[in-house]
Chains A and B, each alone.
Chain A
């Protein structure tokens, strides 16, 4: 290409200035703080690797790390795959489809503080879920979904998925618009059925968007906080406590900002590695 060498950087400039100042620079500061003892009141004091040593010896840290991975594994496939179906479903020319699209998007904009109460009704001992399962004869006695060490984290995952489906559906929906209809027309002439059309055209053409959804939902899953905070508070016995919840607790309940930053750096490194792997594996598309 015979573009000026400076051109790409000019395009990048405004965005990078903002990201650099408001995220990157603070991020470097957080990394520095992870090597200090900092309680947000007195000045930070350099302590070398003390925070990291303490972190790696803390059983609870490993437990929250494990929970974070369980969360990741549980939530991401659902959030990558189901929204594709939803997007295809609401991309049809049907009467009232706009209503359904909006309805599926509603969880994204529903305040979780308030929706949390509705979910309580679902998960309570005498709540909806136990009622239905009992009716179907699946369970003999009610399961305390949010206060059992076996189920709490999975119960919260459902809320995350519920809240995320519409979000990723919209990304796919945008992706679907870029697929030329002529491709489907050609396939129809070749006698491809519905399933074949989608596996041969939709999915491959959506790949750039599958990549972004995978990476975004993984990052979101690794940073999950709000749902946990509202639904279980990390309990019972830390069974649903994730890394960011742990970070939050250390930073704002115990004022160990240095230590919390160290945990944050570990989260950062893990997320980065995971995202790079994703990019490598799935990003073998045209330009990445």
Chain B
């Protein structure tokens, strides 16, 4: 018994060592970022060999970043744009994914392939037609203009389709017996069961909307409508680029994403489907 216990402790230690080793590989560049952001003005950022620990750590760079551009205004813009994008994208994608995963209808495979195919051409080639279309729709300088092109993604539809496919069929059947219609089944039976995938899609959509740079830049001509990434880009100017500020800016823009991730990741709890199969 004791031997078993100690072997499980060793196992645990090894496990943690492994987790930590991978962590170092993953967050190495981020640590550089963090240390750069904390370095004071007298320190050489590009020193060789590089120094990870700042000599006199300071938070002043973060404050400076906020002074460079209308930080709160841009933060608000980013929040609105990302929030709308997430809500609509998650909704539209899960709606579209449902029939693709669990219904039989004419042209199903074609529709699915067509949806997938929208991922296969680089955005740079679509930019001009999308811009002209948005101009015609009067979307220039609007939040909606930044949001609409991104509120359905092939990836989202695909992910939700795969998620719906893992749900046992018996569940729909029994709900249908109880007189539920398709919409009710989708909303009441399926959506709660694919929460982990919804969370995943939420995180991913948020990250890409939050970090989107090229499209907002093109569709917006009014500096008041700029989002955070556009503001952060101002940190490396034509004649200057203070890497302390650039790093601090990068970290500031990462914080909301990490917070959202930390909040949502608790939905990844092993065996969420426990008992669901009883049906």
Interface string of B67-107 (1 = CB under 8 A from A): 00000000000000000000000011101101111111100
Partner of B130, one of A26, A92, A93, A268: A26
Q: Once the chains bind, are B268 and A173 in contact (CB under 8 Å)?
A: yes
Q: Does B9 contact A (CB under 8 A)?
A: no
Question: Which residues of A lie under 8 Å from residue B162 when comparing CB positions?
Answer: 175, 208-209, 211-212
CB-defined contacts of B272 to chain A, threshold 8 Å: 177-178
Closest 9 CB pairs of A and B: A8-B99, A181-B271, A118-B29, A15-B96, A26-B129, A177-B196, A174-B196, A271-B120, A118-B32
A170-B200, A174-B200 are contacts. A108–B207 as well, Cβ < 8 Å? yes
Contact A208 B50 (CB under 8 A): no
A21 near B103 with CB under 8 A, answer no
| A100 to B20 CA separation, bound complex (whole angstroms) | 8
A121 touches B32 (CB 8 A): yes
Given contacts A25-B129, A178-B272, contact A115 B30 (CB under 8 A): yes
Cβ contacts A253-283/B at 8 Å (1 or 0 each): 0000100110011011001100110000000
Of chain B, the residue at the smallest CB distance from A91 is B270
Least CB distance from B57 to A in Å reads 18
* Contact A11–B113 (Cβ < 8 Å): no
Contact A212 B15 (CB under 8 A): no
Residues of A within 8 Å of B277, CB to CB, are 180, 182
Q: Does A11 contact B122, Cβ atoms closer than 8 Å? A: no
Any chain A CB within 8 A of the CB of B155? yes
Judging by beta carbons under 8 Å apart, are A104 and B23 in contact? yes
Contact A177 B270 (CB under 8 A): yes
> CB-CB < 8 A to A208: which residues of B?
162-163, 165-166
Q: Given known contacts A15-B92, A117-B243, A247-B124, is B129 in contact with A100 (CB within 8 Å)?
A: no
Query: What CA separation (Å) do A264 and B123 show in the bound complex?
Result: 10
How many angstroms from the CA of A86 to the CA of B273 in the assembled complex?
21
Report how many A-B pairs have Cβ atoms within 8 Å: 272
Question: Are the CB atoms of A162 and B103 closer together than 8 Å?
Answer: no
Give the complex CA separation of A29 and B125 in angstroms. 9
Contact (Cβ within 8 A) A21 B133: yes
In the assembled complex, B117 has its CB within 8 A of some CB on chain A = yes
Instruction: Decide if B265 touches A101 in the complex (CB within 8 Å).
Output: yes
Taking CB atoms, residues of chain A closer than 8 Å to B239 are none
B3 within 8 A of A: no
Q: Which one of A86, A89, A170 has the greatest number of beta carbons of chain B within 10 Å?
A: A170
Task: Produce 1/0 per residue, A22-61, CB < 8 A to B.
Answer: 1111110110000000001000000000000000000000
- Contacts A3-B182, A178-B272, A252-B124 given; indicate if A22 touches B22 (C-beta within 8 A): no
Judged by a CB distance under 8 angstroms, whether B62 is at the interface is no
Q: Give A30 to B26 CA distance when docked, in angstroms.
A: 38
Known contacts A30-B121, A102-B262, A170-B200: does B111 contact A12 (CB below 8 Å)? yes
> Contacts A22-B133, A275-B116: A247 and B207 contacting too (C-beta < 8 A)?
no
Segment 62-116 of A: residues with Cβ below 8 Å from B = 86, 89-94, 98, 100-111, 113-115
Residue of A nearest to B257 (CB): A109
Q: Which of B28, B151, B167, B268 contacts A101 (CB 8 A)?
A: B268
Q: How far is the CB of B256 from chain A (nearest CB, A)?
A: 10
- Minimal Cβ-Cβ distance residue in A for B95: A11
- Do residues B196 and A264 form an inter-chain contact, with CB atoms below 8 A? no
In the complex, the chain B residue whose C-beta lies closest to that of A103 is B23
Known: A15-B95, A16-B111, A247-B124. A215 touches B116 (CB 8 A): yes
- Contact check, A272 vs B120: say whether CB atoms are below 8 A apart: yes
Q: Does A19 contact B (CB under 8 A)?
A: yes
Q: Kindly state the separation between the CA atoms of A163 and B277 in the bound complex, as whole angstroms.
A: 36
Given A179-B273, A276-B113, verify A171-B25 contact (CB < 8 Å).
no
Judge whether A248 is part of the interface by a CB distance below 8 angstroms. Answer: yes
The answer to whether B265 touches A98 (Cβ under 8 A) is: yes
CB distance from B199 to the nearest CB of A (A): 7
A287 touches B101 (CB 8 A): yes
Q: What's the Cα separation between A178 and B272 when bound, in Å?
A: 6
Distance A149 CA – B247 CA, assembled complex (angstroms): 31
Does B148 make an interface contact (CB < 8 A)? yes
Judge if A234 is at the interface, Cβ distance under 8 Å.
Answer: no
Contact present for B95 and A14 (CB under 8 Å): yes
User: Looking across the interface, which residue of chain B has its beta carbon closest to that of A270?
Assistant: B120
Is A244 in the interface zone, CB < 8 Å from B? yes
> Which A residues are CB-close (under 8 A) to B93?
15
> Are A251 and B15 within 8 A (Cβ)?
no
Instruction: Please tell me if the beta carbons of A105 and B200 are within 8 angstroms of each other in the complex.
Output: no
Q: Which of B114, B120, B247 has the most CB of A within 10 A?
A: B120
- Show 8 residue pairs from A and B whose CB-CB distance is below 8 angstroms, ordered by the A residue: A3-B182, A11-B96, A23-B130, A98-B265, A106-B258, A111-B211, A174-B197, A212-B159
**With A94-B15, A162-B26, A248-B124 as contacts: A177 and B33 at CB distance below 8 Å:** no
Q: Roughly how many angstroms separate A57 CA and B238 CA in the complex, as a whole number?
A: 39
Q: Least Cβ distance of A107 to chain B in Å? A: 6
Q: Does B2 contact A (CB under 8 A)?
A: no
Decide: A29 and B95 in contact? CB cutoff 8 A.
no
Q: Mark B108-146, 1 if CB is under 8 A from A, else 0.
A: 100101111111111011101110010000000000000
